[in-house]
């Protein structure tokens, strides 16, 4: 009996040549590289052989690795929420997203994507942020991501409040130069300052423009809505050349035509995807820091991400999941699925 159980666990943990989720090692005991098409790749274990509550709490129960070397893509947590303006709790987002990701599987029948047959993927754990110093946290995030992208690994980030995108884009621009941005959000996050501070979750893209991190003619903001302090709250974004797509212009529509336009706009140059969960309506994603009514639907979120398939995506993030405001975990489950869709949209992913 014990032998049969052990054999099943081995098949689940090592399916497709993958590694034990706590070790990050290939079956031969060394880190597996995706350099060869025949090299073993990590595979999330199947619930057919390993019960879903079993194993290390990593994204999709993938191996946990300490280094991005040899990885094509990696999930990274940034548990920071000291940049929030109202509701806290996003520091717990990465952990809860990982918990809910246990329901995800390896293939995407809707798009034909087979990410784990195409890429070497792992979970790099969390950036060790400083919860008492936002500026120092930004430094720690920037330095961590510089090391990740230097290896050629594409990071898929579990946030954390939206402040974290600023230092991530600093690292991205250092490697790729100014990048295009697909930004899904209820807010433009282009404020200049609040309470005298120029860095918080309402200012990341203003700071990115200040530092020349964005290719402003290739920035699209989708889902923008809500009350404001002026009748033209989008003036700054549009003055920089951003395309601002209001939520009300998306109501009861497929966003496939929009994404066809976005694809033409982005071309083959580097693109970063930043998805604030409050871009979705709070009926679907209540666990967030700054909810706004009348937002996008989950199906529209899928259309946006799937519309990026084949583009030169160099990084992604999913931010502002605040688990204390959604004890049932629906928001984190949505986030986990959206991150999986981002993985499926990365370059070099096999599509059948």
- Coil/strand/helix, residue 221: strand
Q: Tell whether residue 189 is among the known ligand binding residues.
A: yes
Give the containing element (helix H, strand E) for 305.
helix 298-306
Tell whether 162 is in a known binding site.
yes
Q: How far is CA 294 from the centre of its chain?
A: 23
Residue 282: partners with Cβ closer than 8 Å, 6 or more residues away: 288, 291, 292, 293, 295
Say whether 326 counts as a known binding-site residue: no
Collapsed DSSP state (helix, strand, coil) of residue 92 = helix
Spell out the residues 6+ positions from residue 241 whose beta carbon is closer than 8 angstroms to its own: 216, 217, 219
Distance CA(297)–CA(335), nearest Å, equals 13
> Which residue has tokens 């049932």?
328
Half-sphere exposure of 308 (CA within 13 A, CB side): 32
Q: How many CB atoms lie within 10 A of CB 281?
A: 21
Query: What is the dihedral angle through the alpha carbons of 94, 138, 314, 186, rounded to the nearest 10 degrees?
Result: 70
Structure tokens that stand for 209 in this block: 């423009």
Q: Which residues are annotated as a binding site for Mn(2+)?
A: 162, 185, 187, 189, 276, 278
Q: Which residues are annotated as a binding site?
A: 162, 185, 187, 189, 276, 278
């Amino acid at each position: 009996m014990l032998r049969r159980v052990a054999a099943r666990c081995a098949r689940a943990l090592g399916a497709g040549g993958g590694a034990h989720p706590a070790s990050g090692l290939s079956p031969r005991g060394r880190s597996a590289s995706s350099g060869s098409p025949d090299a073993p790749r990590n595979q999330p274990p199947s619930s057919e052989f390993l019960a879903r509550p079993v194993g290390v709490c990593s994204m999709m129960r993938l191996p946990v690795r300490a280094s991005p070397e040899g990885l094509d893509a990696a999930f990274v947590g940034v548990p920071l929420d000291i940049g929030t303006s109202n509701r806290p709790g996003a520091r717990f987002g990465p952990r809860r997203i990982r918990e809910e990701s246990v329901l995800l599987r390896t293939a995407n029948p809707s798009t034909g994507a087979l990410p784990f047959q195409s890429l070497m993927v792992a979970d790099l754990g969390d950036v060790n942020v400083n919860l008492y110093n936002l500026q120092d946290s930004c430094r720690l995030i920037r330095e961590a991501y510089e090391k990740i992208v230097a290896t050629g690994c594409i990071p898929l980030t579990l946030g954390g409040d939206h402040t974290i995108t600023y230092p991530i884009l600093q690292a991205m621009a250092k490697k790729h130069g100014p990048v295009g941005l697909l930004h899904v959000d209820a807010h433009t996050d282009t404020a200049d300052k609040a309470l005298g501070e120029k860095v918080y979750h309402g200012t990341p893209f203003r700071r990115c423009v200040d530092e020349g991190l964005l290719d402003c003619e290739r920035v699209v903001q989708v889902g923008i809505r809500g009350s404001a302090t002026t009748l033209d709250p989008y003036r700054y974004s549009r003055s920089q050349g951003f395309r601002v797509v209001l939520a009300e212009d998306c109501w009861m529509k497929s966003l496939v035509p929009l994404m066809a336009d976005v694809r033409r706009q982005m071309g083959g140059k580097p693109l970063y995807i930043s998805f604030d969960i409050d871009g979705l309506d709070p009926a679907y994603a209540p666990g967030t820091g700054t909810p706004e009514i009348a937002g996008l639907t989950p199906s529209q979120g899928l259309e946006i991400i799937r519309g990026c398939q084949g583009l030169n995506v160099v990084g992604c993030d999913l931010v502002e999941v605040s688990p204390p405001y959604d004890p049932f975990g629906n928001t984190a489950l949505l986030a986990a699925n959206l991150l999986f869709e981002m993985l499926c949209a990365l370059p070099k992913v096999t599509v059948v």
